[in-house]
């Protein structure tokens, strides 16, 4: 008789359940049909439509871009007259019309590389889908998530033009109200969103800052 507490068996069952859910996920299926690299594309589409974040000709910085589904949506929406700079410490396969910088933008060298890719263009929008490497310890993961949100806000503060916007992912929990207030101090309006394409069990939410005060 199998041991019901066997951790290897339990892990196998969890992986199998996740695979079944993933394969049958309508957003996964639609992403595959439309050629998006992940289902996350639909989160950006929904958020951009709701808060009117994207228009042709914009300059957008995509933080935590890999594998590239948000950059694919950005490329579609801003058109050939726009500029997209995608940034990640991880590698990312090329996307036509997207300048990818594999770097840590928190370092002086990384920030200089991002600014070089921008070539002096004023930034209309900063988007961040950055997420921490999960430790499984909720307070640690929460703190790391909020810190990444703070880094995105810091980058936006230094690069977004007046009246520009910010979209940042963060986990619900401790530190989120403080991050919302920090964004509200720099942007005219702040909205907290949970897209339909975000799984119900996920703690992720998205904070939108509209109208950078400069």
Look at residue 19 in the predicted model and tell me its pLDDT. Answer: 46
Residue pLDDT, tens place only, 116-147:
999 999 999 999 999 988 888 989 999 999 99
Residue 43 known to be catalytic: no
Domain match, 90 and 186 both: yes
Domain match, 18 and 111 both: no
Residue pLDDT, tens place only, 17-53:
434 445 578 889 998 999 899 999 999 999 999 999 9
Q: pTM, whole model, 2 decimals? A: 0.87
User: CB under 8 Å to 68, separation ≥6 — which residues?
Assistant: 37, 86, 92, 93, 95, 98
Which residue range(s) make up the domain with 59?
38-212
Domain match, 66 and 123 both: yes
Q: Distance of alpha carbon 90 from its chain centroid, rounded?
A: 14
Mean pLDDT rounded to a whole number for the chain: 90
Residue pLDDT, tens place only, 69-95:
999 999 999 999 999 999 999 999 999
- Report the domain count for the chain: 2
Q: Which residue matches tokens 């079944």?
A: 20
Residues of the chain with pLDDT > 90: what percent? 77
Domain match, 26 and 50 both: no
CATH number of the domain enclosing 154:
3.40.50.150
Domain match, 20 and 111 both: no
As a whole number of angstroms, the distance between CA 112 and CA 171 comes to: 29
The single residue of 169, 194, 196, 210 carrying the catalytic annotation is: 169
Domain match, 123 and 95 both: yes
Domain match, 79 and 104 both: yes
């Amino acid at each position: 008789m199998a041991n019901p507490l066997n951790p290897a068996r339990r892990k196998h069952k969890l992986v199998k359940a996740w695979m079944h859910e993933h394969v049958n996920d309508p957003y996964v299926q639609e992403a595959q049909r439309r050629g998006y690299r992940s289902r996350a594309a639909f989160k950006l589409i929904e958020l951009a439509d709701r808060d009117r974040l994207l228009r042709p000709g914009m300059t957008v910085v995509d933080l935590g871009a890999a594998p590239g589904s948000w950059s694919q949506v950005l490329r579609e929406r801003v058109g050939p007259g726009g500029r997209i700079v995608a940034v990640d410490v991880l590698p990312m396969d090329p996307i036509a019309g997207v300048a990818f910088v594999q770097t840590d933008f928190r370092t002086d060298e990384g920030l200089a590389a991002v600014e070089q890719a921008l070539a002096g263009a004023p930034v209309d929008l900063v988007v961040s889908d950055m997420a921490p490497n999960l430790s499984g310890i909720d307070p640690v993961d929460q703190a790391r998530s909020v810190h990444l949100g703070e880094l995105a806000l810091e980058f936006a503060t230094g690069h977004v033009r007046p009246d520009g916007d910010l979209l940042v992912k963060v986990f619900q929990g401790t530190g989120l109200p403080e991050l919302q207030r920090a964004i509200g101090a720099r942007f005219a309006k702040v909205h907290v969103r949970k897209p339909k394409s975000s799984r119900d069990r996920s703690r992720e939410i998205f904070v939108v800052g509209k109208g950078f005060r400069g």
